[in-house]
Structure 1
Amino acid sequence: MKKRKILIISGILMLVFAAAYYFYFGFLYKDARNIEAEQPAYTITAETLVKDYETDRVKANSKYLNKTIVVLGNVNESDSTTLALAGGVSCSFDAALSAQTGEQIKVKGRCIGFDELFGEVKLDQCTINQ
């Protein structure tokens, strides 16, 4: 009787640990997204993107948030890893970039939302598309 209880308890513990392992590594730790290789969900101008967020933030979030998009616009300012497009879109790059002020470019990145403090839409993991 005692051996049977020990076997049942051991079996239950093994199932609990297996379920915890599957949950921890199956759901919580997925491979990182490769935004550069993903197909964009939308191609939009910087002005239209910002206007969509200013008009209805909830609707814009449901449409763009955490999605890969291509944004067309003129470079307002840039430094080594960030770029601001005219109209109010801020783009963050993982690698150094070189862009001239006034240049019209296409930026592909992941939309991470609207920054109310600065009044701009933020993109990260950006790359410049030709």
Structure 2
Amino acid sequence: MKRKIIVIALVITVFGLCGYYYVWYGGARNVSSEEAVFNVSSKSITAEFNSDIDKSNAKYLEKAITVNGVISKVTDKQVIIDNTIVCEFKESIPSVKKDQQVTLKGRVVGYDDLMEEIKLDECSVVNNN
């Protein structure tokens, strides 16, 4: 009886660990290779989120989009477009500069209504003029 309980506990533990691993690592996406669902300007998507957050979340959340605008700030792994779109990169950002017109692709992960910023992750540069 004791052996049966130990085997059942081990089986449950193995399935639990497999489930944990899948949730954290198995569902990873490569947004840079995906087709963008929407191509928007920073001003238009910001206006949409400012007018109706719930509707915009339903439309954009977790989707790959391309967004174009002017870079207002560049850090090591982050670009901010028109002071409203915050794009997080996995690695150092390739040659982009402040005040440059740019098109970036990324996954919409949320909207900060206090700061009025749209957050994107897994960003990549599509076009930098």
Normalising by structure 1, we get a TM-score of: 0.77
| 1:25 to partner: Cα distance | 7.0
Identity rate of aligned residues, in percent? Answer: 27
Q: Distance in 2 between matches of 1:78 and 1:62?
A: 29
Number of the residue aligned with 1:42: 38
Does residue 86 of structure 1 match 2:82?
yes
Q: Distance in 2 between matches of 1:73 and 1:115?
A: 19
1:45 and 1:25, CA in 2 relative to 1: closer, same or farther beyond 3 A?
A: same
Number of the residue aligned with 2:125: 128
Match of 1:117 among 91, 114, 118: 114
The 8 Å contact of residues 112 and 124 in structure 1, kept in 2 or not, is answered as yes
Normalising by structure 2, we get a TM-score of: 0.77
Does 37-46 or 75-84 show the bigger shift?
75-84
Describe the superposition over 1:68-97 as per-residue Cα deviations: whole angstroms up to 9, x where unpaired: 000000001111111110151111113333
| 1:37 to partner: Cα distance | 0.3
1:28 and 1:101, CA in 2 relative to 1: closer, same or farther beyond 3 A?
A: closer
The 8 Å contact of residues 81 and 97 in structure 1, kept in 2 or not, is answered as no
Tell me how many residue pairs correspond in the alignment: 126
Note the residue ranges of structure 1 that are not aligned, 5 or more in a row: 1-15
Supply the RMSD in Å over aligned alpha carbons. 2.5
Q: Distance in 1 between matches of 2:79 and 2:25?
A: 30
The 8 Å contact of residues 46 and 85 in structure 1, kept in 2 or not, is answered as yes
